Amino acid sequence: MEFITNTLPAKQLHLHMNAIAQLNQVLEYLKNTFVGKDEIIDLLGICLVARENAFLLGPPGTAKSAIVRALSQCIVDGNNFEYLLTRFTEPSEIFGPFDIRKLKEGELLTNTEGMMPEASLVFLDEIFNANSAILNSLLMALNERIFRRGRETRLLPALMFVGASNQLPQEETLNALLDRFLIRVNCNYVAPDQLEQVLIQGWKQQKNPIQDIPSITPNAIQDLQAMSKNIDLSPIRAQYVDLIHSLRNTGFSVSDRRAVKIQNLIAASALLAGRQEVITSDLWVMRNIWDTEEQIETLQAMIEGVIGKEPIPDSHPQAFQNALPDAEVLMQEIISLTERWKQSAENWEEKNLIKDQLRFLQNRNNWLQSEEKRRYIQQNIDALWQKILAQS
């Protein structure tokens, strides 16, 4: 891909190009290692460049921890930190114990050696087990990259935080924690047709562990993070504003703060694709800003409706690699919308919301490969439209 770099000195250009190549080599190595996990891996790469946090949702055994651990091994000269949280996790287990020597001198300081405040990449497994003792400090670390304990305050070098869990938070107090993760990735078992390849690759790795792995330094990633701030967002600014309005009108919670931060992800997509300006297909990253699993299909349909189906030159590889819709999930959503329409009565705001969601489901249905399933679901969509028109 041609990279537009007329404004950069030759030496600086070489360093940037080298850093991009290094990170893409790391991501390609991970994709070859973990079959069927390309989108997860690319999104982690996007978050690294954007310096945003990623949350992985999925059942045990879907390689969540293994992927993050393998990525951390590729970041050399960095103090990476991993911890499995429980309800009884204490602050000292995450941030470090108080320094006894300083305590004897009357100073209350934390010994952070080998702990989260010194890490380049932080992975917190079962993140929603975080208790009140560590929650406030954790929220500040995730959002502001600041560690504060008593009078002690320091900036964190973390390039990215990754959280993982088997389920979304059940308590309202933990919703603020989920909000600190801009990207949410649904990690499922691999598709049936990829299982054999997974078994072959897994057996191969057990017999012959890879000795030489590609690497990148924290400094190189920081260079990419700085460079992403210079990406030109103006080509899709109006389109992005319209999309944010559409998301809000359809019931998605996109605060002004999140809308600003999502731009970092869009810029990172352009940078890793070798461009200094964004194009429409870079909006693909927004498929992963959902709050609940029920929103995933609708959100994907909305984003795909904007970026289209046909690949565009120099697009990020993931822009047109989205999984096909699930016919059963589509049908369940249509049934749910039908029930909601019956109960909406004179609630015109709810009625308009249902209409918007039905339009997006109709667009999503066009992606089904089975003509029989597509025709059957379309009949149900048409039936609901008839009910809607009859009451208009």
In this predicted model, what pLDDT tens digit does every residue of 51-65 receive, in sequence order?
Answer: 999 999 998 888 999
10-207 folds as Rossmann fold (3.40.50)
How remote is the C-alpha of 361 from its chain's centroid?
23
Residue 5 CB neighbour total at 10 angstroms = 15
Domain spans of the chain, in order of start: 10-207, 231-296, 327-390
Give pLDDT, residue 309.
63
Check if the beta carbon of residue 379 is closer than 8 Å to that of residue 365: no
Phi and psi based region of residue 349 (left: phi greater than 0; alpha: psi -120 to 50; beta: remaining): alpha
pLDDT at 1: 35
Strand ranges inside the chain, DSSP E: 54-57, 81-84, 121-125, 146-149, 152-155, 160-165, 183-186
Q: Low-confidence residues of the chain, pLDDT below 50? A: 1-11, 13, 323
161 sits in which H/E element = strand 160-165
Record the pTM.
Answer: 0.78
Structure tokens belonging to residue 231 = 């990406």
- Are the C-beta atoms of residues 84 and 307 closer than 8 Å to each other? no
DSSP string across 39-55:
HHHHHHHHHHHHT--EE
Side chain identity at residue 41, one-letter code: I
Residue 142 CA to residue 135 CA, distance in Å, equals 10
Model pLDDT, residue 310? 61
